[in-house]
Structure 1
Amino acid sequence: MQEIKWGIIGCGDVTEKKSGPAFNKIPHSELVAVMRRDGEKAADYARRHNVPKWYDDADLLLNDPEVNAIYIATPPGSHEDYTLKALRLGKPVYVEKPMARNAAECAEMVRVSHETGVPLFVAYYRRTLPYFVKLKELIDQKAIGDIRLVNITLHWPPYPEEVGENAQPRWRVDPEISGGGHFHDLASHQFDFLEYALGPIKTARGISRNQAGLYAADDVVMANFEFESGVVGSGSWCFTGSKRHRIDEAYLLGTLGKITFSFFEKFTITVETQDHTEVIDLPYPEHVQQPLIETIVAELRGEGTCPSTGQTGARANIIIDWITANG
């Protein structure tokens, strides 16, 4: 495959800056078609981003002979269906995270990818972001010695549209569409990176509850997990806390020190040892998915390897299913 001609299914908010523009900024990559069920919005996106073609029917985009790679940026409820269709048409797939609503759907996507021999990639772009590349480098170089434990804290207040008399929560907290709530959406990034950096998680257990009743999904989760390496971890996630006590922080404790970092909102990594503290500042690039998309294009052209595949992407769903099994 010499030139990668992309088609996007679901050209919504995530594609405006995080991903969409990147397809045209990578050599041998071009965004040639977009699709959205609302034809007016699809046409508007195509016009603003200089995309030659737009559709309001996914099957038309999937069968467009010029499109030879598919980016699926719809909510998780349709990931499996669109992925299987694309794979069976022989078109490589780049699917948004979470990869699907649950581990069973992910397993079917991976099975068909193997069956057809068509590549499947997942948008866990932290694997290639400079911030997290540096974090993994610090771990690999044993900057704080051997890692003993990891802790995650993510406490956010409700989104404005989730509270009040006229509340209209988004699809992310509708389990029929998303598979869960904000935990499913955000913790998937966290567990994917932790496995990338620290190796496979062999067990995970948790408690997930809906305390505030703002929507159908869980809004608070506590979890413990253990890596095959022996490193242990814990985490707490709350999405109905106070604005004043909003926190996005994680840390790794090692035999020689501690690394404190953020998964979402901050761009500093703090490395503390017995006699030294270093603060590393690494802002995200303009299009956060571009470094990962570059690796996908390279792999499809036979010039490299993408670190986020269907097989690795499915792991986050497995871990989340373990944790929320008693929710």
Structure 2
Amino acid sequence: MSERKASIMTIRFGIIGAGVIADVRMAPAIREAAGAELVAVHARNPEKARSFAARHGARRWYSEAQALLDDREVDAVYIATPPSQHAEETEAAAQAGKHVLCEKPMAIALEECDRMIAACRRADVRLGLCFMLRFHPVHRRMRDLVTEGFLGQPKMAEARLVFELPDKSPTAFRLQPALGGGGAVMDVGVHGVDILRFMLGRDVEAVSAFSDHDPSVFPSDDTTVMALCFDGDLPASVGVSFGVPFAERSNVELYGSAGSLFSVDTLGQESEGRFIAISAAGRREEAPPVYNQYVALVDEFVAAVREGREPVPGGADGRAAQAVALAAYESIHTGTVVSLR
């Protein structure tokens, strides 16, 4: 990293793609995070870009992404466009010397993930992924307990993300596989895969998946269960749906020989929550102190840029989740177990 970049105390962000998550979650998080500043915004619609910038205190707005990347006062970009654009925009950002914090899913193909990682490595810029659920206070505490051996020998793990997609308009990128890469598996299944990888400290070796969808609304999967085999033959599952209107549970469940851990409605955008721990010592509930998981994500990315190290989660984590999602689609279409070894 250049001395100029290493000496920057405040990391100045630009946002490429002024969508809902950028507006409601990430722009406020960048403004709140210590050592970060939002200075520029891009949206293809000039009025949308202008109003977004005004709403979040950004000094400049652009209707062309390259114009934002050419802005010398931007040190890093948060990319929040449809996944089909992530690879091209990440490569352009890296070429412009900008660090990249990319929304999930990382891309729509593994080859694109590899290109993104290689481009950032060549340019000596950092590449982070927006798996904010790693920073939920409940998930951090559960991961710590797993690391400390609370589970004993892990026996089984589950993650469920079940809800109703609020925007079902035909123009929504989540309903256009060419833009989003798929359906529920690609959009939220990667979150479930990543949170289990994070908590267990293991990688997925094999995938089998079963899916259903309402073709009148969803051109791709809206409800899928992925059966996963992690390192050490640990069985796990990730269940996802954005077609269930009355869902009440989006949880992580971890089972072991000495104890079990269950989160309660923590797989979502809010940072509040609690978990249940059961062992020979009895049953207890914990509600860790609340902090904003999106702010914590930005804090980690800023620290990585300052320290010249890879962010966690980074490009390798995005690629790993992508590989599982694509294997799930292969399994759905072929009816086979897909090996990732």
Select which of 218, 236, 252 maps to 1:250: 252
Residue type at the aligned position of 1:140: T
Cα distance in structure 1, aligned partners of 2:300 and 2:162: 33
Following TM superposition, by how much is the alpha carbon of 1:275 offset from its aligned partner in structure 2, in angstroms? 4.4
Q: Which moved more, 1:316-325 or 1:298-307?
A: 298-307
Greater helix share, structure number: 2
What aligned pairs does 1:1-327 form with structure 2 within 5 A after superposition? 1=5, 2=8, 3-156=10-163, 158-159=164-165, 161-162=167-168, 168=170, 170-198=172-200, 199-241=202-244, 243=246, 246-261=248-263, 262-265=265-268, 267-282=273-288, 285-286=291-292, 288-302=293-307, 306-325=311-330, 326-327=332-333
Cα distance in structure 2, aligned partners of 1:279 and 1:169: 43
Following TM superposition, by how much is the alpha carbon of 1:304 offset from its aligned partner in structure 2, in angstroms? 6.9
Cα distance in structure 2, aligned partners of 1:276 and 1:169: 51
Following TM superposition, by how much is the alpha carbon of 1:312 offset from its aligned partner in structure 2, in angstroms? 1.6
Following TM superposition, by how much is the alpha carbon of 1:195 offset from its aligned partner in structure 2, in angstroms? 1.2
Cα distance in structure 1, aligned partners of 2:107 and 2:257: 37
Cα distance in structure 1, aligned partners of 2:23 and 2:306: 26
Matched-pair contact (CA < 8 Å) for 1:267–1:283 = no
Cα distance in structure 2, aligned partners of 1:67 and 1:129: 28
Matched-pair contact (CA < 8 Å) for 2:13–2:39 = yes
So what's the TM-score if we normalise by structure 2? Answer: 0.86
CA deviations 1:67-121 (Å, max 9, x no partner) are: 1211111121211111010111121111111111232221221122223322211
Matched-pair contact (CA < 8 Å) for 2:189–2:239 = no
| CA distance 1:87–1:289, change in 2 (3 Å) | same
Cα distance in structure 1, aligned partners of 2:304 and 2:161: 34
Cα distance in structure 2, aligned partners of 1:66 and 1:267: 38
Give the number of aligned pairs. 320
Matched-pair contact (CA < 8 Å) for 1:211–1:220 = no
Residue type at the aligned position of 1:235: V
SS in 2 for 1:8: strand
Following TM superposition, by how much is the alpha carbon of 1:154 offset from its aligned partner in structure 2, in angstroms? 3.7
Unaligned runs of 5+ in 1: none
Residue type at the aligned position of 2:198: Y
RMSD: 2.2
Residue type at the aligned position of 2:255: L
CA deviations 1:44-86 (Å, max 9, x no partner) are: 1111111110111111101111112111111212111110101
Residue type at the aligned position of 1:291: A
So what's the TM-score if we normalise by structure 1? Answer: 0.90
Structure 1 vs Structure 2: percent identity of aligned residues? 26
Cα distance in structure 2, aligned partners of 1:169 and 1:249: 30
Unaligned runs of 5+ in 2: 334-341
